[in-house]
Structure 1
Amino acid sequence: MAFLNAMNISASGLTAQRARLDVISENISNVNTTRTEGGEPYRRRTVVFEPRGKSSFQEIFSRTSRGGASNQRGVIVSEIKEDESPLKSVYDPTHPDADENGYVMMPNVDLLKETIDGMEASRVYDANVTAFNAIKAMASKGLEVGK
């Protein structure tokens, strides 16, 4: 049932991109958060992907050519980490979190970058939906052959 493996790969991509979109929306919603529960400004978070079932191409090819099942393939979210780039310093002496010189440490979130990342994640999500639907249509047509 190779089409089921292909569907699982697309589904793992859908899940991973949904997690990425969740993190991007969290970053955008905290673009002006100068104080978190820890007392520090919000730090941008990024999603790290990792291939599921790490095998070389040769291993997969030899296993499937002998009729064996391939390992579970796809992508997983291995980690959501904080971006360690420097925070932005903005002069605003009226802000409650301003230091003695009137500067406020703002989050390291760049709204333009987050918007572009969100558009990319949305396009990748759409591509996985298209692939999933194509696989589903091929499987359906394959089942009609026996009629």
Structure 2
Amino acid sequence: MADLIKTLAVSASGMQAQGQRLRHVSENIANTDTPGYRRKTISFEQEVRFGRPTGLVEAGPVTLDRRDLSRIYDPGHPLADGTGHYDGSNVDLVVEIADSREAQRSYEANLRMFDQARQMTSSLLELLRR
């Protein structure tokens, strides 16, 4: 029974981490055209308690993509410098869409695992009641 509960916890931590990833991807997509915006990335780390890995996943710190910002030529833009250029963002929509699909599929896989563990727990409890 403890293994089934641990399975629920592991899949729930995976869903929570992927949910945070999706939030950052959606922020990146929303700010694609924001001048000076840097893409946010998030990493995942294995949770450790008392020096031992638990199997749970947690979202690590948010980092900003250090790639160069795109230079956009628009002399009429209020942020344009003397040469008519300003810094755009470093968000690539193709990469963000791919990241969102990957996060969505991982979230769905964790959800299916959570549902299977829940059904197995319910079946076990039903057998114990008899």
Above 0.5 in TM-score? Answer: yes
Tell me if 1:84 matches 2:66.
Answer: yes
Residues 5 and 72 in structure 1, CA contact (< 8 A), matched pair in contact too: no
Distance in 1 of aligned mates of 2:34 and 2:78: 12
User: What residue number does 1:31 align with?
Assistant: 32
Return structure 1 stretches of 4+ with deviation > 6 angstroms: none
Q: Counterparts of 1:54-69 in structure 2 under 5 Å? A: none
RMSD across aligned C-alpha pairs, in angstroms? 1.8
The corresponding residue for 2:41 is 46
How many aligned residue pairs are there? 128
Structure 1 counterpart of 2:98: 116
Map 1:90-101 → 2, pairs under 5 A? 90-101=72-83
Secondary structure in structure 2 of the residue aligned to 1:127:
helix
* Structure ranking higher in strand proportion: 2
Secondary structure at 1:51's aligned position in 2?
Answer: strand
TM-score with structure 1 setting the length: 0.81
Could you tell me which runs of 5 or more consecutive residues in structure 2 were left unpaired when the two chains were aligned: none
SS in 1 for 2:54: coil
Give the whole-Å Cα distance in 2 for the aligned partners of 1:104 and 1:125: 38
Q: Percent identity?
A: 38
